[in-house]
Structure 1
Amino acid sequence: MDAPRYPTKPKPGDRVAIVSPSAGLPGLFPHVYELGLRRLREEFGLEPVEYPTTRVMGADPRDRARDLTAAFADPRITAVLATVGGDDLITVTPHLDDDVLRANPKPYFGYSDNTNVLNHLYRLGIVAYHGGSVLVHLGRPGAPHPLTFDSLRAALFTSGWYDLTPAPAWGDRPNPWTEPETLEYEPEMLPGEGWRWQGPERVVRGRTWGGCLEILHWLMATDRVPTVAELDGSVLLFETSQEMPSAQEVFRIVRNMGERGLLAAFPAIVVGRPKAWNFDRPLSVPERSAWGTAQREAIIHALTPYNPDAVVVFDVDLGHTDPQLIIPYGGEILVDAVDRRIAVRY
Structure 2
Amino acid sequence: MELPLCPAKPRPGDRIAVLSPSSGLPGVFPLPYELGLRRLQDDFGLKAVEYPTTRTMGASPEARAADIHAAFADPDIKAVITSIGGEDQLTVLPHLDRDLLRAHPKPFFGYSDNTNLLLFLRNAGIVGYHGGSVMVGLGRPGALNPLTEASLRAALFASGEYELTPAGAFGDVDGRWEDPGTFDAEPETEPAGGWIWHNGDRVVDGISWGGNLEVISWLLMADRAVLPVESYA
Q: TM-score range by the shorter chain?
A: over 0.9
Distance 1:39 1:102 in 2: 29
Q: Deviations over 1:41-97 (max 9, x none)?
A: 010000000001100000111011000110000000000000001111111111112
1:210, distance to aligned residue in structure 2 (A): 1.1
Which residue does the alignment assign to 1:170?
170
Q: Match for residue 75 of structure 2?
A: 75
SS in 2 for 1:109: strand
Q: Which amino acid aligns with 1:88?
A: D
Report the CA distance between 1:226 and its aligned residue: 1.6
Percent identical among aligned pairs is 60
Instruction: Return the letter of the residue paired with 2:70.
Output: A
Is 1:110 matched up with 2:110? yes
TM-score by length of 2: 0.97
Greater RCO (CA < 8 Å, at least 6 residues apart) = 2
- Which residue is 2:19 aligned to? 19
C-alpha distance 198-124 of structure 1, shift in aligned 2 (>3 A): closer
Q: Which runs of 5+ in 2 are unaligned?
A: none
TM-score (norm 1): 0.66
Q: Which residue of 1 aligns with 2:93?
A: 93
Residues 75-120 of structure 1 deviation map (CA, whole Å, 9 limit, x = unaligned): 0000000000111111111111212101000010011111110010
TM-superposed CA distance for 1:6, in Å, is 1.1
In structure 2, the partner of 1:229 is: 230
**Correspondence 1:60 to 2:60:** yes
What secondary structure sits across from 2:210 in the alignment? strand
In structure 2, C-alpha distance between the alignment counterparts of 1:101 and 1:200, rounded to whole Å: 36
Give aligned pairs, total: 232
- Partner-residue secondary structure (3-state), 2:207: strand
Larger radius of gyration: 1
CA distance, structure 2, for counterparts of residue 188 and residue 226 of structure 1: 41
Q: Find the aligned partners of 1:229 and 1:35 in 2 and give their Cα distance.
A: 43
Cα separation, 2, equivalents of 1:110 and 1:200? 27
What displacement does 1:203 show?
A: 2.1
Judge which range, 93-102 or 115-124, deviates more: 93-102
**How far does residue 30 in structure 1 lie from its aligned partner after superposition?**
1.0
